[in-house]
Amino acid sequence: MTEHRDEEEFYKRDRPAQPTLEEDRPRGGKAKAPAKNRGSWSMVAIIVVIVLLIVLGIALFP
């Protein structure tokens, strides 16, 4: 029992008077603007290039 009390006193020294902090991003808040899906055309282009390379590689080196 005395060990538990000693631990509480030990850790109490470093704690501030108000141990709770305000939230950085409060819950329930709405986003300011809807997220835009950027880069979809670039992803399509990359996938098309990769598929073309694979098809050309198979066609040229059977």
- Output the DSSP codes for the chain: -HHHHHHHHHHHTTS-SS-----SS-TTPPPSSPPP-TTHHHHHHHHHHHHHHHHHHHHH--
pLDDT of residue 54: 95
Is pLDDT at 45 greater than 80 in this prediction? yes
| Confidence bin at 15 (pLDDT 50/70/90) | confident
Write down the pTM of the prediction: 0.40
pLDDT of residue 1: 53
Q: Which two tokens stand for residue 3?
A: 């060990």
Q: How confident is the model over 26-39, as a mean pLDDT?
A: 69
pLDDT of residue 34: 72
State which amino acid sits at residue 19: P
